[in-house]
Every structure is written in C-alpha cells, then in structure tokens.
Amino acid sequence: MEVVNRYVATRHHIEGAPTEADFEVKEETARWAPDSGEVLVRNLYLSIDPYQLNRMKRSSASHLAVDSILPGQRIAAYAGGEVVASACEEYKAGDVVAGVLGWEDYTLFKPSPAVLMSKVADSAAAADDAGFPLSHHISVLGTSGMTAYGGLFEVGKPVKGEKVFVSAASGSVGSLVGQFAKIAGCYVVGCAGTKAKVDLLKDKLGFDDAFNYKEEPDLKSALKRYFPDGIDVYFENVGGEMLEAALANMNTYGRVALSGVIAEYTGGGRRAVPDLLDVIYKRITIRGFFAWDFLPKFAEFNAIIADWIREGKVKVVEDVSDGLESVPSAFAALFRGQNVGKKLVKLA
C-alpha cells in the first residue's frame, strides 16, 4: 500500500524564536507492505510541545537525550491516529492508537518495547473504554500528564499542606501540576501571562491563587506576597528571572522540579543567575527531569489520572488548531504564550 504523506519539516536549524517561515510542508510516498512487520497509522491529533525547539537547534543538551531534528526530515512527535494497515498481530486496521508518531499525515512504525505506543480504542468513532476522547490521550493521558504527575510527585515530592508554585501554569503541563497539587492537599499558586489565563486558573482549575507575571515589576516581591510563608515546591517551566525569584522565596529543604525553561529556549530572554547562597543555606534541591524518565510508570500514572478526570477532580484544557498546515503557526505561538492548556493540531 502506498499513501502520499505530507509532513512538516524545518527549513534549517532554528536558534531563536521560531516563526512559520522556518517550516515547510513536504510530501513523500509512504510504502507499507504486508511482510514488513510495520503498522501504518493515519494521524488524527498531533501534540505540539515547546521542547521540540531544542531538538531543532544545531547544538543543544537536548541532543544527548532525544534525537535532533534535521532540516528537511520528518519530525517525530507524540500523536494519536487510526491504524490503516497492519502487518503485525497486536494491531488491526481501525484500531486507534496513541504514542510516538509524527508531525505528518501518516506514520509507519514497527512495534517494539522501545516504541511508546498504546491502543486506545477499537475504532475512531468509539471513545475508549473509559469514555475519553482521543485528544485526551495526546494531552492529559500522554506525555503532558506523565511530565506533570512524575515531575510533581517523584521530583517535587509535595507533602499535604505544603506550598506549591507553578510557572506557565495555564500551559499543558502547568495546568495539570496545579490541579494534581491541590488533590495532594497543597496550597497552590500559579502564574501566567494574561488575565484570561489567570482567571482560568482561579475560577476553573481550582488554584488557590494566580497572578499575571507581566503585571509584576518585581517578581521577588510578588512571590513574597503570594507566599508569605514561603514556597516548598517550585514546578519550573519558565527559567530566567522567575527561577531567581522562586529561589529567593523558597523555604528550607525546598525542591525545584526543573521541567522546562521555555524563556531560555529561544535565547531571547535573560538566563537565570540563581543565588547559590540561597541553594546552599536553604538546602534546596534542583532536579532536572523529563517525561521519558517515568515511562516504566506510564500505565500506573494514567490509571490514577483517569480516575481523577472521571471524578471531576481534574479538568482538561485543550487548545486545538486544525490541519497539518497549522502546525508551524501553532508551534511558534507557544513561544508567544498564545496557547491555553495543551496545544494540539487536529488533522482532517
């Protein structure tokens, strides 16, 4: 079987903030054969995540952990889709799957323990057994949920009653971290960059408080106001000045779960110059991590998160654009803070 596969590719390595002009939509012919052992998936929802920018750089620490993205080449990404043809027993045509696919119309994959892929439902029309739409499997039940759950509970380790600060709190990961921390009995404050996002955090997602960092001339004082008793856990998505301000307001034995530093990805902002005396004398732990660290616990985390969604304890915020050609603008918009919740692209 042959299909025409349109895919999004970078035109060159990207070093600063991405723009639509950095990308192009290309075409190739994808060939599936019955004896290939491969599965051909028509993609339905694509995950649009800031970390992909690091993969697009010529040189980045990211390349040590994740394959770099070469100009002109297909881009692997978390996504969900429908099996069109299968040459292996585990999958059959019509199955709906979620896992590592790509920013493209079709993806071929060969099942192996090294490939994160799970079967979600028996047909695209049906929801999964739990009644979740496919998009949830690319957001809250995908890598965003894994990052939020693992980062908060295995790295941040909040204890009931502790104070948790979340930056980029209306984003794909932050919006979940805050809700998870509330479930764990913590006091939770988030920051975001618009009034609408701040309202969402307070009114819909149950944060104890939230603020617009763009309206705070002095982030250290702002955090002192929102955390008069100090911060115990900081879930870091931003970097730069925000990290400095959080460290200045952390309590003894505070923990920084370093998930991302979107303000530092583009090289446009000022990088964090943490006060290391704070880290020493307050015995703070700063620990970097990413979603794949928690892969062995993916099913366990998802079972818990799914229960929370069913019980109404976790609200899922998804921000969906339409069509493969919208991937570049959707991706670029992440770095201008234009998404609310998880950014997805729905394919026709």
Tell me the site size for a copy of itself, rule CB under 8 A.
Answer: 37
Cβ distance to a copy of itself smaller for residue 287 or 297 = 287
Residue where the block lists tokens 């779960």:
257
Span interacting with a copy of itself, options 32-40, 56-64, 108-116, 296-304, rule CB under 8 A: 56-64
Is 68 among the residues that bind a copy of itself (CB under 8 A)?
no
Q: In whole angstroms, give the CA distance from residue 5 to residue 282.
A: 54
Is 277 among the residues that bind a copy of itself (CB under 8 A)?
yes
Span interacting with a copy of itself, options 9-17, 170-178, 204-212, 275-283, rule CB under 8 A: 275-283
Three-class secondary structure of residue 81 per DSSP: strand
Token reading at 222: 């702002």
Distances 158 to 42, 183, 233, 297 between C-alpha atoms, Å? 40, 11, 6, 19
CA dihedral 57, 62, 65, 71 (to 10 degrees): -10
Among 19, 73, 123, 285, binds a copy of itself (CB under 8 A): 285
Among 264, 266, 315, 320, binds a copy of itself (CB under 8 A): 264
Least distance between a copy of itself and beta carbon 204 (Å):
29
Cβ distance to a copy of itself smaller for residue 207 or 213 = 213
Instruction: Give the distance, in angstroms, between the CA of residue 318 and the centroid of all CA atoms in the same chain.
Output: 11
Span interacting with a copy of itself, options 176-184, 207-215, 286-294, 337-345, rule CB under 8 A: 286-294
Span interacting with a copy of itself, options 132-140, 187-195, 268-276, 327-335, rule CB under 8 A: 268-276
Cβ distance to a copy of itself smaller for residue 259 or 302 = 259
Q: In whole angstroms, give the CA distance from residue 78 to residue 2.
A: 23
Is 290 among the residues that bind a copy of itself (CB under 8 A)?
yes
Q: In whole angstroms, give the CA distance from residue 23 to residue 72.
A: 9
Cβ distance to a copy of itself smaller for residue 97 or 262 = 262
Buried b (16+ CB within 10 A) or exposed e, 196-234: ebbebbbeebbbbebbbbeebeebeebbeebbeebbbbb
Query: Strand pairing of 106-109 and 39-47?
Result: antiparallel
Is 191 among the residues that bind a copy of itself (CB under 8 A)?
no
Is 303 among the residues that bind a copy of itself (CB under 8 A)?
no
**Binding stretches for a copy of itself (CB under 8 A):** 54, 60-62, 64-66, 239, 243, 252, 258-261, 264-265, 271-290, 293
